[in-house]
Amino acid sequence: MDLYEYQGKQLFSRFGIPVSDGQVVDTPEEAREAAERLGAPVMVKAQVLTGGRGKAGGIKGPASPDEAEAHARAILGMDINGHVARRVWLERASDIEREYYCSITFDRGAKKTLVMLTTAGGIDIEEVASETPERIARVHVDPLTGFQPFHARRLCYAAGIPAEEMRQAADILARAYRAYVETDAMLVEINPLIVTPGGELRALDSKYTVDDNALYKHPDIAAMRDLEALDEQERMARERGVTYVKLDGTVGIIGNGAGLVMSTLDVVAGAGGTPANFLDVGGGAQADEIVTAMEVLLSDSKVRAVLFNVFGGITRCDEVARGVLTALERLDVEVPIVVRLDGTNDVEGRAILAEAAPPNLHVAETMLGAAEQVVALAGAS
């Protein structure tokens, strides 16, 4: 689960990482009031779960209360890379002397935590990473040791943090690591970590991702989930535990398991079709989830045909077959459906479909054959 900047900063504050005083609001009027309360020039920042806000005009300031209201009015409702800004974060504007970068995340390959620090922070960090990677200091942290003071010292010396800032930098790293561990974060990133003209270090932005699988341990963070920000289908899908991402094509695709669904998209594209979505019902899907999945998918009016590609392992094909039939009945489906079932209880599943044999349901033998058939049906309908 990705957190908004203001949510990440709330967690930063909880763990003692210095941030600017600020407030999140969702109307221009509140923006004015917040700016007045903050009593200094403020930055007005769109809260969206995507990068590139600045270039898109989603960050304005420093602003007076009047200007803050005007900026908030401009930003609220703005579409930034497909994400609508529904809230803005106002904070006291900072004077910036230098911009650093630090992050804590998994290194999957090493199966360890990786902590990175560089004095070359800011919006060009990826360029720094690709062109002068040696400027980014890295340490792997063994879970056996945890993050020790020596890790912080090594990072600071390697990154070239000036002596007079070392204590602050080491402290922020240690606190960020604690936040990372204690909130089950997948990523804690501060970019930029600014140095003010007075020599103070402060987190000016936050990227904070918490492990969905661990949200049960953190009800306060789970409550930060912003279901309204998702579009209608995505929300419905999430509520029923299926993964749905909308795309632009005409062939609706449902499958079980991310790998197989991705592969199905590729094969449909290879057969000349355009996928309308990515939809994974996950492992062990029951008939109910199948119905929901179909409902979500069909709410997209561009869909002209649907490919159901299931390979049962923990999922049982007879359950899927029943789900498909229930969905056809309940949802009054008109577009053609191609179903391909293999794996656990596939014989039973195919028998169930063969017995019901609704007119717009086509059973395919192979994945490739199914893809070719659905592409043909989508083109023809």
Partner 1 sequence: MAILVGADTRLVVQGITGREGSFHATRNRDYGTDVVAGVTPGKAGQEVNGIPVFDTVADAVRERGANTAMVFVPPRFAADAIYEAVDSGVGTVICITEGIPAHDMLQLYPYVRARGATLLGPNCPGALSPGAANVGIIPAQVFGHGRIGLVSRSGTLTYQIGKELADAGLGNSTIVGIGGDPIVGLSFIDVLERFEADPETDLVVMVGEIGGDEEEKAAAYIGEHMSTPVVAYIAGFQAPPGKTMGHAGAIISGSAGTAQAKKEALEGRGVRVGRSPTEAAQLAAEAFAQLG
| Beta-bridge partners for 190 | 102
Least separation in angstroms between residue 218's CB and partner 1 is: 10
- Whole-angstrom distance, CA of residue 214 vs CA of residue 344: 30
Say whether residue 351 binds partner 1 (CB under 8 A): no
| 160-189 residues near partner 1, rule: CB under 8 A | 163, 166, 181, 184, 186-187, 189
Q: Give strand pairing partners of 308.
A: 254, 339
Nearer to partner 1, 18 or 282 (CB): 282
Q: Does 153 bind partner 1 (CB under 8 A)?
A: yes
Q: How far is the CB of 301 from partner 1 (least distance, A)?
A: 19
DSSP-derived 3-state class of residue 160: coil
- Least Å distance, CB 195 to partner 1, is 19
Residue of 131, 198, 216, 301 that binds partner 1 (CB under 8 A) = 216
Minimum Å gap between C-beta 314 and partner 1 is 4
Strand stretches in the chain, DSSP E? 2-3, 22-25, 42-46, 59-63, 79-80, 83-84, 88-92, 98-107, 112-118, 137-141, 185-195, 201-203, 207-210, 243-246, 251-255, 277-280, 305-312, 337-343, 361-363
Residue 189 bears catalytic tag: yes
Among the listed residues 239, 291, 275, 283, the one whose alpha carbon sits nearest the alpha carbon of residue 259: 283
Query: Count residues contacting partner 1 (CB under 8 A)?
Result: 80
Q: Which of 4, 6, 100, 101 is catalytic?
A: 101
- Asked if 283 touches partner 1 (CB under 8 A), the answer is yes
Question: Of residues 258-277, which lie at the interface with partner 1 (CB under 8 A)?
Answer: 258-260, 262-263, 265-270, 275
Q: How far is the CB of 243 from partner 1 (least distance, A)?
A: 11
- For residue 170, the minimal CB distance to partner 1 (Å) is 10
- Footprint of partner 1 on residues 53-92 (CB under 8 A)? none
Catalytic one among 67, 69, 189, 372? 189
Q: What's the chain's Rg over C-alpha atoms?
A: 25
Give 70 or 287: the residue with its C-beta nearer to partner 1.
Answer: 287
- Which tokens sit at 103? 């992050």
Q: Which of 86, 135, 207, 235 binds partner 1 (CB under 8 A)?
A: 207
104/115 Cα distance (integer angstroms): 5
By CB under 8 A, name the one of 192, 255, 323, 336 that touches partner 1.
255
Query: Using an 8 Å Cβ cutoff, are 292 and 237 in contact?
Result: yes
| Residues of this chain, 95-124, that bind partner 1 according to CB under 8 A | 101, 103-109, 111-114, 116
Strands 185-195, 251-255: pairing is unpaired
Q: Look at residues 83, 283, 218 and name the one whose alpha carbon lies nearest to residue 75.
A: 83
Active site residue 101: yes
* Residue-wise burial string across 173-209, b where 16 or more C-beta atoms lie within 10 A, e elsewhere: bbbbbbbbbebbbbbbbbbbbbbeeeeebbbbbbbbb
245 binds partner 1, rule: CB under 8 A:
yes
Residue pair 50/59 in contact (Cβ under 8 Å)? The answer is no
Instruction: Give the x-and-dash track for 37-56 against partner 1 (CB under 8 A).
Output: --------------x-----
Scored b (16 or more CB within 10 A) or e, 128-161 reads beeeeeeebbbbebeeeeebeeebbebbbebbeb
CA 104/CA 14 separation, integer angstroms: 17
First to last CA, the chain: 39
Task: Read off the amino acid at residue 234.
Answer: E
Least distance (Å) between residue 265 CB and partner 1: 4
* 219 scored as a contact of partner 1 (CB under 8 A): no
CB nearer partner 1, residue 68 or residue 268: 268
Catalytic residue list:
101, 189
